[in-house]
Amino acid sequence: MDLYPGKSPVATPTPTRTAYASVADLEAELGASLRALRLDRNLEQTTLAARAGVSLNALKRLESGRGSTLHTLISVSRALGREDWFKTLAPVATINPLTMPRSAKPRRRAAGRRKG
């Protein structure tokens, strides 16, 4: 029984939380996250800007999602102690073919059916 006549049975991707409509949406959410982290640490904007070595206006632009530089983002993240965020951008591979044992030979064919 065909549930959707005329439609191919190809699965459509479901929207995820990380799917953003635009770059501006991503900037706004990232800025909001940084602002929430700053408030959680009970820091004023002037204090965080001084610790990060950026201007107050640069921090305000970053938190409001109105555009910022990579330098400002990294400096503020480091001042908040969240450099670990950047490790998730390009995770290190957990399987390295060079560390695999040399004695393991690659399979050349599928296993046959067992009788019994």
Q: What is the CA radius of gyration of the chain?
A: 25
Q: What's the structural domain count of the chain?
A: 1
Q: How far apart are CA 103 and CA 82, in angstroms?
A: 42
Token duo for residue 65: 């999602």
Q: Which domain holds residue 53?
A: 23-83
CATH number of residue 59's parent domain:
1.10.260.40
* Residue 38 pLDDT: 94
Give me the half-sphere count of Cα atoms (radius 13 Å) on the Cβ side of residue 44. Answer: 4
Q: Is residue 68 part of a domain?
A: yes
Does any domain span residue 61?
A: yes
**pLDDT per residue as tens, the chain (116 positions):** 444 445 444 444 444 455 667 888 889 999 999 999 999 999 999 999 999 999 999 999 999 999 889 999 999 999 999 988 888 877 766 766 666 666 666 667 777 777 76
Q: Which residue has the tokens 């439609």?
A: 7
- Residue 98 domain-assigned (yes or no): no
Cα–Cα distance, 79 to 61 (Å, whole number) = 17
* Residue 111 falls inside a structural domain: no
**Is there a domain that residue 46 lies in?**
yes
